[in-house]
Each structure stands twice: as structure tokens, then as C-alpha cells.
């Protein structure tokens, strides 16, 4: 590996580390749901608000991300994002109310644009043969961050249950969720420092007429001859875009014009399907999801840790193969496998029954000093909704939430193996396909003149869907039940599969300029019209 390639990898790794911070921020909250709900006496929608607040914040950030990236540069945008992550993490740990916690997490959501900006930056510095791997590193960092969060949450939960002086002295037993959220602070500070060591994007420099500086940056990534060729290609591409990025309104008009209709439809479908199949409901509420299987709280946290490990393994597999097999096979076959896995979960939950025996009710009543459960003795419920509603009516909502994991573990009769295989299969398929490949495609299919608007806009679309999935998952769990939720996710995946089969191109081993010529050629325009 020569110095130029090493420098490309260094810059890509530093920028992609923002995905690690994102993964931490997104998944650490999964372990805190039950503690925060109990401390602040939250309703289903309030729980959803805490978890989804970053997803709401990113909606606003993405509206101006394109402008900041085009006017001030990708590098400065990343520095601002890193600072927002730090501010959000500190404020979340210190939150003294539901409102303060939601506000702090909203600020963190402003930093979630790190994914789209990172994809943009890496796509603009990476050689064509390495671009797929390097952009997909964002997804590796996300899943490593998710896994680290699940592992940290599990360790903190286990430590909080120890009867030791140091646990009490550190407040692990009384401030468990605050320790979980504090994990993010140090990595975010490290990322902010590392970002000062990366150069500005050469394509942004050309767009702003800093040709000599762009040439110097390119020579850090390529040989002098390759740098000259790349610079000429970039200049030609910029000239096609009137020598500067189009304004936001001009970019939007161009994006949905007949010439770029195919790229816009690909972006629209990828942005919606990646999120509407429920990935963030499963990842951000992982312990809650596994409690529905009847695993109990500690086992549910452990299964969440397994989810993280599966995510890492299959994302690494996708990164190793995305430039060898291509983008299209990974997405099409991965989405098919994920949809089948979701249907498995739906079927297993639809066959589940819930019943408490006299011995279980007697033991639970003695342990927790609760009353009113006698009329539930040996009563079989055919859905989790009926069972939960009856429990809440007899012991109260607050008591039910405090012991939901234990009660579901005692009462649930379900094919747990089928559900676990289905969930793990979906997680594996997602991280082998549409998870990392979406960002690769976003970095490739949009012309330079509209990229600063297009990537954040379709990332905004994905974020809107993600926000809705996160916000309403607790409410859906209480009113629809697990079976219908997984059915909805599976149908959404099937629709996305059909659409992408018809329109998704192959872009491996092509320069961004070659992809532009392919997607926006007269033949393409005629075929789409």
C-alpha cells in the first residue's frame, strides 16, 4: 500500500468514524428506555419522543446541510457535527426532566447528518475501485458503534445489579441510564480532534475555483499523473454544472426533471425502503423487542448484544464484496432475504399465546406485593395486546412497565427460535445489503452540480421515515401488537424489492463522471420517459 492509498484510507476512516458516534448515540438509548420511563413516568408516545428526538432533529439539520456543505465545505460541516454530538451527550447525561432529555437528544439529531456528509466527502476523495469499500466503511462504523453500545449497556446493567461499594459510590445502581448515555462523550471528543487532520474535498475546492489547492489535495491521494487526470475530469464535471453547484431550487428542479428522473426514483425508493422495513425499531428498541419473546430483561439485553455482533459481521462481508459482486446483487438478494425473515417473525408472533398459571401469579404477588391478578389465573390470551391490556387494568400501568420483562417471560408461549432466527436473519440481510449500499449509491448516482442538495435531501427522506418508525413503535406495540408490526415491515420490504428489481443499475468500478454519463445519457432519458 503506497502513501497515497494510505492517506485515502486514513481520511476515510476518520470521516467514517462519525458513523461510530452515530451508532453509539442511536443504540445507547435502547438500554435506557425502561429506566427513563420509570424515572419520568412516561407514556408510550413520550417514550417514543425520547428515542426518536434525534430523528426529529436531523430533519431540520438536513434542510441546511447542503447549503453548509456547498458554501463552507464538507470538512467544516463535519467539525460542526462533531461538536453537536459532544454537546448533546453531555446535556443528555445531565438531564433532570423529560423535556430537557428530549431537547438534548434533539441537538444530537442535528449531528445525524454526519452520515450523508461522510458519504459525500468519501465519495469525492476515493478512487473508483475503492469507493464502494470506503463509503461502506460508514456502515461498518455504525454497526460497530451499535455493538459497542449494546455491550456497554449490558455491562452497565450487570454492574448495577452488584451489591458492591464501588457500584453505590459511582451511582451505577441509581443513575444506570446516565452512565449508559455518558459512553458517547469521549469518542465524540476524539472524533472532533481527528477531523482537524483531514483536507478539504478536492471537488468542493474546484467548485469554488481553488484549482491549485485542489491539485495539491489530489496529489496526496493519487500519483501526479493520476491527480492531473482526476482534476481534469472534476473540472469538466463542474463545467457541465455551470462551474458551480446549482442553487437549492435549481437543484430540486433538475433532480425531478425528466433527465434525472431515474436517479431521483432510485434515491426515493432506497431512502424509504431502508427505514420502513423497521431496522431502527429493532436496533433502537432491541431489549424491548426481545422482551416480547419472553426472554426476560437480562436475556433481552444479551440478545441485543448478539444483534450488534451479527450486524458487524455481515456489514464487513458487504464491504468486502460490494466492489467485487456489485451494488445491485447485494441489494436485491439481501432485501429478498430480509423480507422473508420479517414474514417469519410475523407468523411466529401470530401463533403465540399468553397465560399465567396459578403458581406464577402466586409467586409474582408475593414477590412484588401486588393484588388483583386472581381473575387472570389460567386465562389464555391469543394476542400480546389482550394480555398486556388485562395486566395494566389489574395492576396498573406503572407497575406493569416496571415488571413487563418478567411478566412476558412467565406468560409467553411462542416459537422463540423462529422469531430469533427471523430477527437475526433480517439484521444480517439488512447489513449485508441495503444498509451500507444505500450510502454507496447516494455517493455515486447524483451529478456534482446537485450532489450537495440531493444527498442530504434523500437522507432527509430516510430520516423522516426513520423518525416515524421510532416515534410510534411503542404505541404500535401497545395497540397493534408484534405480529401486525412485523407484517407491515415485511410488506414494505416486498414492495421495495419489486421496485428496485426494475430500476436499480450497477455502478461498480465506474468513476462518478462515467456514472453520470450512463444515468443521464439520452438513451437513459428515453427509456425512463
Q: Is 520 helix (H, G, I), strand (E, B) or coil?
A: coil
What pLDDT was estimated at residue 244? 47
Answer whether residue 529 is part of any domain.
Answer: no
Domain count within the chain: 2
Q: What is the pLDDT of residue 323?
A: 79
Instruction: Examine the pLDDT at 485 and tell me if it is beyond 60.
Output: yes
How confident is the model over 476-494, as a mean pLDDT? 90
Residues of the chain with pLDDT > 70: what percent?
90
Residue 467 lies in a domain: yes
Model confidence at 85, in pLDDT bands (50, 70, 90)?
A: very high
Output the domain CATH number for residue 151: 1.20.1250.20
**In the numeric block, which cell numbers belong to residue 258?**
425528466
Range 66-91 average pLDDT: 91
pLDDT, average across residues 379-394: 83
Q: Is the pLDDT of residue 243 over 60?
A: no
Count Cα neighbours of 397 within 13 Å in the Cβ-side half-sphere.
7
SS3 call for 464: helix
Mean pLDDT to the nearest integer, 19-25? 91
Residues 425 and 283 in one domain: yes
Neighbours of 170 (CB within 10 A): 14
- pLDDT-derived band at 251 (thresholds 50, 70, 90) equals low
Q: Which has more pLDDT, 519 or 494?
A: 494
Side-chain-facing half-sphere of 111: CA atoms under 13 Å: 28
| Same structural domain, 72 and 133 | yes
Q: What angle do CA 477, 474, 32 make, to 5 degrees?
A: 130
The DSSP call for residue 199 is P
- Asked whether the predicted pLDDT for residue 241 surpasses 60, the reply is no
Ramachandran bin of 219, using left for φ above 0, alpha for ψ from -120 to 50, beta for the remaining angles: alpha
Best CA proximity match to 324, nearest among 83, 506, 67, 90: 506
Q: Regarding predicted confidence, which is higher, 456 or 496?
A: 496
**Matching residue, cell 449490558:** 154
Listing DSSP states for 235-288 in one string gives: HHHHHHTTTSPPPHHHHHHHHTSGGGHHHHHHHHHHHHHHHHT-HHHHHHTHHH
- The better pLDDT of the pair 225, 486 is held by 486
The pLDDT of residue 252 is above 70: no
Residue 340 and residue 372 share a domain: no
What pLDDT is stored for residue 240 in this prediction?
64
Per-residue pLDDT, averaged over 111-118, amounts to 83
Is the pLDDT reported for residue 40 higher than 60?
yes
Three-state DSSP string of 406-443: HHHHHHEECCHHHHHHHHHHHHHHHHHCHHHHHHHHHC
Same domain, 324 and 378: no
For the record, the C-alpha cell of 266 comes out as: 432510485
DSSP-based three-state secondary structure for 381: strand
Tally of CB atoms within 10 A around 174: 12
* Residue 136's pLDDT band (cuts 50, 70, 90): confident
- Let me know whether 241 and 315 are in one domain: yes
The closest alpha carbon to 81, from 168, 160, 165, 195, belongs to: 195
d(CA 199, CA 377): 68
Query: Other CB atoms closer than 10 Å to residue 343's CB: what's the count?
Result: 19
Which of 54-58, 83-87, 317-321, 513-517 has the weakest average pLDDT? 513-517
In this structure, are 24 and 121 located in the same domain? yes
Please report the pLDDT score of residue 452 as a whole number.
Answer: 67
Q: For residue 425, what is its C-alpha cell? A: 436473519
End-to-end CA distance of the chain: 45
**How does pLDDT run across 301-329, given as a tens digit for each residue?**
777 778 888 888 898 888 788 878 888 89
Answer yes or no: do 89 and 238 share one domain. yes
Residue 528 in domain? no
Structural domain of residue 369, as residue ranges? Answer: 353-413
Answer yes or no: is 159 within a domain.
yes
Alpha carbons 124 and 448: distance in angstroms, whole number:
9
Last residue of a domain, one of 361, 395, 413: 413
Query: Does the pLDDT of residue 401 top 90, yes or no?
Result: no
Mention every residue, 6+ apart, whose C-beta is less than 8 A from residue 477. 44, 288, 292, 485
Report CA-CA distances (Å) from 121 to 200, 216, 232, 413, 436.
Answer: 9, 17, 19, 50, 16
Q: Are 3 and 127 in contact (CB under 8 A)?
A: no
Residue 341 has what pLDDT?
95
pLDDT, mean over the chain = 83
Of the residues 393, 413, 433, the one at which a domain ends: 413
Same-domain status, 81 and 180: yes
Rounded average pLDDT over 160-175 = 89
> Cα 315–515–320 angle (5° rounding)?
20
* Boundary of a domain, candidates 391, 413, 435: 413
pLDDT of residue 519: 67
Instruction: Tell whether the torsion through CA atoms of 478, 483, 487 and 489 is positive or negative.
Output: positive
Query: What is the reported pLDDT for 472?
Result: 86
Is 252 contained in some domain?
yes
Is 96 contained in some domain?
yes
Q: Does some domain include residue 45?
A: yes
Give me the residues paired with residue 353 across strands: 413
Lowest mean pLDDT among 157-166, 363-372, 464-473: 363-372
Q: Does the pLDDT at position 21 exceed 80?
A: yes
Task: Count CB neighbours of 392 within 10 A.
Answer: 16
Over range 10-32, report the average pLDDT.
90
Q: Please compute the mean of the pLDDT values over residues 390-403 and round it to a whole number.
A: 80
How far is Cα 130 from Cα 200, in angstroms, rounded to an integer? 19
Assign 99 a pLDDT band (cuts: 50, 70, 90): very high
- Residue closest to 51 by CA, chosen among 344, 458, 478, 472: 472
| Share above pLDDT 90 across residues of the chain, in percent, rounded to a whole number | 24
CA-nearest of 297, 273, 259 to 446 is 259
Q: Are residues 360 and 436 in the same domain?
A: no
- On whether residue 504 sits in a domain, the answer given is yes
Confidence of residue 487 (pLDDT cuts 50, 70, 90): very high
Considering the domain architecture, whether residues 52 and 144 belong to the same structural domain is answered as: yes
Verify that 317 and 373 share a domain, yes or no: no
> CA-CA distance, 181 to 31, in Å (whole number)?
9
307 and 287 in a common domain:
yes
Flag whether pLDDT at 229 surpasses 50. yes
pLDDT at 107: 94
Amino acid at each position: 500500500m503506497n502513501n497515497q492509498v494510505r492517506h485515502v484510507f486514513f481520511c476515510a476512516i476518520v470521516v467514517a468514524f462519525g458513523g461510530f458516534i452515530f451508532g453509539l448515540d442511536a443504540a445507547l438509548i435502547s438500554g435506557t428506555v425502561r429506566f427513563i420511563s420509570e424515572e419520568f413516568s412516561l407514556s408510550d408516545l413520550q417514550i417514543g419522543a425520547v428515542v426518536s428526538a434525534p430523528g426529529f432533529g436531523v430533519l431540520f439539520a438536513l434542510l441546511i446541510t447542503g447549503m453548509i456543505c456547498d458554501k463552507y465545505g464538507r470538512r467544516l460541516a463535519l467539525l460542526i457535527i462533531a461538536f453537536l454530538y459532544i454537546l448533546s451527550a453531555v446535556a443528555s447525561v445531565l438531564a433532570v426532566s423529560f423535556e430537557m432529555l428530549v431537547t438534548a437528544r434533539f441537538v444530537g439529531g442535528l449531528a445525524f447528518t454526519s452520515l450523508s456528509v461522510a458519504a459525500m466527502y468519501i465519495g469525492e476523495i476515493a478512487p473508483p475501485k475503492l469507493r464502494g469499500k470506503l463509503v461502506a466503511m460508514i456502515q461498518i462504523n455504525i454497526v460497530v458503534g451499535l455493538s459497542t453500545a449494546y455491550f456497554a449497556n449490558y455491562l452497565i446493567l450487570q454492574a448495577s445489579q452488584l451489591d458492591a461499594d464501588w457500584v453505590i459510590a459511582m451511582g451505577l445502581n441509581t443513575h444506570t441510564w446516565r452512565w449508559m448515555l455518558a459512553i458517547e462523550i469521549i469518542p465524540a471528543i476524539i472524533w472532533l480532534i481527528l477531523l482537524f487532520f483531514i483536507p478539504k474535498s478536492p471537488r468542493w475546492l474546484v467548485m469554488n475555483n481553488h484549482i491549485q489547492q485542489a491539485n495539491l489535495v489530489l496529489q496526496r491521494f493519487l500519483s501526479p499523473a493520476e491527480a492531473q487526470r482526476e482534476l481534469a475530469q472534476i473540472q469538466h464535471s463542474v463545467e457541465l454544472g455551470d462551474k458551480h453547484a446549482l442553487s437549492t431550487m435549481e437543484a430540486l428542479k433538475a433532480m425531478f426533471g425528466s433527465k434525472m428522473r431515474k436517479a431521483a426514483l432510485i434515491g426515493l425508493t432506497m431512502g424509504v425502503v431502508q427505514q420502513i422495513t423497521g431496522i431502527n425499531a429493532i436496533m433502537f428498541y432491541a431489549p424491548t423487542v426481545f422482551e416480547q419473546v419472553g426472554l426476560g430483561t437480562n436475556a433481552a439485553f444479551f440478545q441485543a448484544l448478539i444483534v450488534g455482533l451479527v450486524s458487524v459481521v455481515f456489514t464487513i462481508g458487504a464491504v468486502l464484496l460490494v466492489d467485487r459482486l456489485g451494488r445491485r446483487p447485494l441489494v436485491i438478494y439481501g432485501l429478498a432475504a430480509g423480507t422473508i425473515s420479517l414474514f417469519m417473525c410475523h407468523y411466529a408472533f401470530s401463533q403465540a399465546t399468553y397465560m399465567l398459571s396459578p403458581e406464577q401469579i402466586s409467586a409474582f404477588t408475593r414477590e412484588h406485593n401486588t393484588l388483583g391478578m386472581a381473575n387472570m389465573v389460567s386465562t389464555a390470551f391469543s394476542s400480546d395486546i389482550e394480555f398486556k391490556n388485562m395486566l395494566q387494568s389489574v395492576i396498573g400501568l406503572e407497575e406493569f412497565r416496571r415488571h413487563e420483562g418478567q411478566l412476558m417471560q412467565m406468560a409467553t408461549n411462542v416459537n422463540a427460535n423462529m422469531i430469533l432466527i427471523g430477527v437475526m436473519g433480517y439484521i444480517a440481510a439488512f447489513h449485508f445489503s441495503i444498509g451500507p449500499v444505500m450510502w454507496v449509491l447516494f455517493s455515486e448516482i447524483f451529478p456534482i452540480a446537485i450532489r450537495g442538495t440531493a444527498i442530504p435531501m434523500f437522507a432527509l427522506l430516510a430520516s423522516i421515515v426513520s423518525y416515524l418508525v421510532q416515534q410510534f413503535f411503542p404505541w404500535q406495540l401497545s395497540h397493534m401488537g408484534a405480529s401486525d408490526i412485523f407484517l407491515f415491515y415485511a410488506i414494505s420490504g416486498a414492495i421495495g424489492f419489486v421496485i428496485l428489481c426494475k430500476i436499480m443499475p450497477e455502478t461498480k468500478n465506474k468513476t462518478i463522471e462515467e456514472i453520470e454519463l450512463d444515468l443521464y445519457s439520452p438513451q437513459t432519458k428515453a427509456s425512463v420517459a
